[in-house]
Structure 1
Amino acid sequence: MLEGRAPETALDDEFQPQGGLPLPPDDLTELQVTIWRRVATSMQGFLTLADYDAVRNYCVLQAHLIEIEEKLKTTGNLVTMNGRTTTNPLFRMRNQLVQNVHLIGSSLGLSPAARARIGSAEKDGEAVDLEYLKLIGAA
C-alpha cells in the first residue's frame, strides 16, 4: 500500500474554464470584438485566462485577414510595379495571415480536427452567427 499525501489535482485559476463569456480587450476594433464574441462563444466551457492572449491574437489576425481579402477584391492578386507584373504584396500578407490564423485557431481548438482531438466536435446544424457574416459581407 502506498502512503503519503495525494498530489494536488486542482489547477491554478488561470487554467480553469471561466464561467460566462469573458469581456473582449478594450483595444479591439468592432470587427475584432465580433470575432472575439464568436470565438469565446464556441470555446465556452473550455476558455481559460491562459487562452486570453491567444484568443486576442486570433481575433486581430482574423480581422486583418478579412480586411486584406476585401482589398484584394479590388486590387487583384497581381500588380504592376516598375513596369513589371508581380504578385500583390497584399496576397503574400494574406497567405501569411491564413497560416497564422490556422496555427492559433488549431491551438485553441477552433478547427474540426482540433475539436475532435479534445472531444468536443460540434453538432450538425449549429446556428450561424449572422452578425459576423454581415460584417464580413457573407450575408
Structure 2
Amino acid sequence: MLSGFSIWGGVVSSKHLRGVKPKITADLEPLTKVPKAPTYFSPYAVAEWKRVLPVLVARKVICTADLAQVETYCCMAGLVRQIETERQLAGGVVDVKLFGVQNRAAQTARQIAATLGLDPVSRARMGAGQEGGAGDTSPDPLAI
C-alpha cells in the first residue's frame, strides 16, 4: 500500500485511526500457561518474553492466534535494548543507521504494546485496577 492510498483507490487518512478505541476484554480461549520463547529469539527478546507474557496470560487477554504479535513485540523491544547495549559498549558513539533502526523498532514495539494492553491507556480501557474491572492484580509489565 502506498502512503495515503488504499488498495480500493481511496485516500486513507490518519484520522481513521483516531478516536475512542474499543474496550479490551478477556479472550474466549485464553492461554492458561506461558509457552516457551521461540528459539530464534535474541537473549534480549527472551528476557522481554519472560517479563511480559506471564502478565498477558494472567490477564486472560492472549490466545494462540495472538502469539505472532507478542513475538514481534518482544523482537522489537529486544532489538531496541540490543542496539542500546552495543552503543554503550562502543563508548556511546551514535551510529546514524543503527539509530534509525532502533527508532523504528521502538515505535513498532510501542504500537504493539498498546494493542496488547501493555501501556497505561490500554490498561485503563481494560478496566485494570478498577473496582468491577478485570481484577488485574498483576505487576505493571512496563515498570522497570
TM-score when scaled to structure 1? Answer: 0.65
Distance 2:65 2:28 in 1: 6
CA contact (8 A) 1:65 1:98 kept: yes
More strand by share: 1
1:92 aligns with 2:100: yes
1:54 is aligned to: 69
Distance 1:127 1:53, change over 3 A: closer
Distance 2:39 2:86 in 1: 26
1:117 is aligned to: 125
Q: Where does 1:1-139 land on structure 2 (aligned, <5 Å)?
A: 16-44=29-57, 45-73=60-88, 74-77=91-94, 88-121=96-129, 126=139
Superposed CA offset, 1:36-78 (max 9, x none): 111111112222112100001111111110011122222433x
Distance 1:23 1:95 in 2: 28
Distance 1:127 1:111 in 2: 9
CA contact (8 A) 1:72 1:91 kept: no
Distance 1:15 1:51 in 2: 13
Gaps of 5+ in 2: 1-26, 130-135
Which of these two proteins has the greater Rg computed from alpha carbons? 1
Distance 1:102 1:127, change over 3 A: closer
CA-based RMSD: 2.8
Q: Secondary structure at the match of 1:25?
A: coil
- The one-letter amino acid paired with 1:117 is R
TM-score when scaled to structure 2? Answer: 0.63
Percent identity (aligned): 25
Gaps of 5+ in 1: 1-13, 80-87, 134-139
State how many pairs are aligned: 107
- Runs of 4+ more than 3 Å apart: 121-124
